[in-house]
Amino acid sequence: MRRVAILISGGGSNMMTLLRAMEEGDFPARAVLVLANNPDAGGLEKAAALGIPTAVVDHRPFGKDRAAFDAAVDAELRAADVDLVCLAGFMRILTPEFTAGWEGRMLNIHPSLLPLYKGLHTHQRAIEAGDAVHGCSVHLVTAALDDGPVLGQARVAILPDDTPETLAARVLVQEHRLYPAVLKRFASGDQTAIILE
């Protein structure tokens, strides 16, 4: 049974789907910590309501010292004896030292079909490019932003009238299917990619 920490910055809808999935009896992982960099992250209360331990490492007192912030996050993860880390809407750039410490054990969900559209504003960029298809990816985290081996993807058609908001909403539905499926497979020791249509 792998011990999972979920790192969030906001509302935590992906976090909730992971927490619900891990409550299922045959899931090879369980949540031991939800950590936010923002004390106002809505996901914190939702996790606490499910009885999951929560922690906050507010990034603001650290200013530009990303290494010190990452070290504080790392200390929380080590103290909780975490095996796997799931980034779920965690909007901080991590240092190479931190990612190296969790290499092969840290997953992220990103709202694009990687390697397309790393970074922010992915839905708007896909629409502006005239793409027919968009989607989301779960990948292993490496030092480079939104890089690392892809563990799963789900595709979403872009409709003629789509705005970044309408497209984001449909992609999010697929994120909620994809992330628990990938975590389940990954936690069981299988790293073959999952492709959802």
Beta strand 54-56 with 29-36 is parallel
For ligand GAR, give the closer residue by CB, 79 or 169.
Answer: 169
Given the complex with ligand GAR, which of 29 and 174 has the nearer CB atom? 174
Chosen residue from 4, 7, 14, 154 binding ligand GAR by CB under 6 A? 14
Site for ligand GAR in 118-137 (CB under 6 A): none
- Which residue is at the shortest CB distance from ligand GAR? 89
The answer to whether 122 and 111 are in contact (CB under 8 A) is yes
Give the nearer residue to ligand GAR in terms of CB position, either 48 or 75: 48
Q: Quick one: angle between helices 13-22 and 42-49, nearest 10?
A: 20
Minimum CB distance to ligand GAR, residue 14 (Å): 3
Q: Which is nearer to ligand GAR, 39 or 78 (CB)?
A: 39
Verify binding: residue 38, ligand GAR, rule CB under 6 A: no
Is residue 172 a contact residue for ligand GAR (CB under 6 A)? yes
Task: Name the catalytic one among 59, 110, 139, 176.
Answer: 110
Q: How many CB atoms lie within 10 A of CB 145?
A: 13
> Does 152 sit near ligand GAR (CB under 6 A)?
no
Question: Which residues inside 84-113 make contact with ligand GAR, applying CB under 6 A?
Answer: 88-89, 109-111
Residue 193 phi/psi, 5-degree rounding, is -75, 150
- CB-CB contact of 94 with 70 (8 Å): yes
Contacts of 138 (CB under 8 A, 6+ apart): 107, 108, 109, 110, 150, 151, 152, 153, 178, 179, 182, 183
CA atoms within 13 A on the CB side of 177: 14
Binding flag, residue 10, ligand GAR (CB under 6 A): yes
Is-catalytic flag, 110? Answer: yes
Tokens encoding 103: 């290499």
Contacting residues toward ligand GAR, per CB under 6 A? 8, 10-14, 88-89, 109-111, 172, 175
